[in-house]
């Protein structure tokens, strides 16, 4: 009993204070099927994956709101930015679930949704496989000034100021699903 209580306290201590009410490793239901974000394993949630440093709340049937902290996979410190404090809230993310097309990519990008991210099947024989057609279109709104120079794509390093970050890993014109699938 004591070990269970200690383990629960350790998990809670790892959650940034300002993430309360938001969850990491959120299960996203798309067309009756459960998905996770393609990403790193979520500690304490076997099989769950998520984008490092992100915590989520459902904002509607096809939308999420997220808090994006300066934390990496497995708690790696200051993973997204070398000059922002470890664990700092960098962005509020708004995500819309939709398909990709050149026309949609241009439309979403013009509104600040310059990055999309893949969903992966949460369970069953297809666990870990990407959704066949849908992605999450991300708009990152910076809460502070910092240099985005880490994360999974440091080649897109840039200075960030408060407001919509139109340079956040801009993959909107990369077709989905990829031609090789």
Per-residue confidence in pLDDT tens, the chain, 181 aa: 433 333 333 333 355 656 678 999 999 999 999 999 999 999 999 999 999 999 999 999 999 999 999 999 988 999 999 999 999 999 999 999 999 999 999 999 999 999 999 999 999 999 999 999 999 999 999 999 999 999 999 999 999 999 999 999 999 999 998 765 5
Backbone angles phi, psi at 56, to 5 degrees: -130, 155
Both tokens assigned to 121: 């099947």
Class of residue 173 by CB neighbours under 10 A (exposed 0-12, middle 13-18, buried 19+): exposed
Q: Is the pTM higher than 0.75?
A: yes
Q: What is the pLDDT of residue 179?
A: 62
Class of residue 105 by CB neighbours under 10 A (exposed 0-12, middle 13-18, buried 19+): buried
Per-domain boundaries in the chain: 2-164
Both tokens assigned to 64: 């999420």
Q: What is the pLDDT of residue 20?
A: 77
What distances in angstroms separate CA 1 from CA 8, 11, 13, 44, 74, one per listed residue?
11, 16, 18, 17, 26
Q: What is the pLDDT of residue 141?
A: 98
Q: What is the pLDDT of residue 10?
A: 34
Both tokens assigned to 123: 């369970």
Mapped onto helix, strand or coil, the DSSP state of residue 3 is: helix
* Residue 55: strand pairing partners: 67
Residues 6 or more apart whose Cβ sits within 8 Å of residue 128: 49, 120, 121
* Residue 36: strand pairing partners: 120
Q: What is the pLDDT of residue 121?
A: 96
């Amino acid at each position: 009993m004591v070990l269970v209580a200690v383990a629960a306290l350790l998990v809670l201590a790892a959650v940034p204070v300002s993430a309360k009410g938001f969850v990491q490793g959120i299960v996203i239901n798309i067309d009756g099927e459960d998905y996770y974000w393609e990403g790193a394993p979520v500690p304490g949630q076997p099989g769950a994956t998520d984008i490092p440093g992100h915590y989520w709340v459902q904002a509607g049937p096809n939308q999420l709101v997220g808090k994006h902290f300066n934390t990496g996979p497995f708690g790696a410190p200051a993973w997204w930015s070398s000059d922002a404090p470890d664990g700092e809230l960098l962005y509020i993310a708004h995500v819309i679930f939709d398909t990709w097309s050149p026309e949609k990519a241009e439309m979403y990008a013009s509104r600040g949704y310059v990055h999309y991210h893949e969903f992966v099947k949460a369970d069953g024989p297809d666990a870990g496989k990407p959704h066949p057609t849908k992605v999450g279109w991300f708009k990152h709104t910076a809460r502070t000034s910092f240099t985005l120079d880490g994360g999974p794509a440091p080649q897109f390093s840039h200075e960030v100021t408060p407001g919509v970050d139109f340079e956040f890993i801009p993959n909107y014109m990369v077709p989905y699903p990829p031609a090789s699938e």
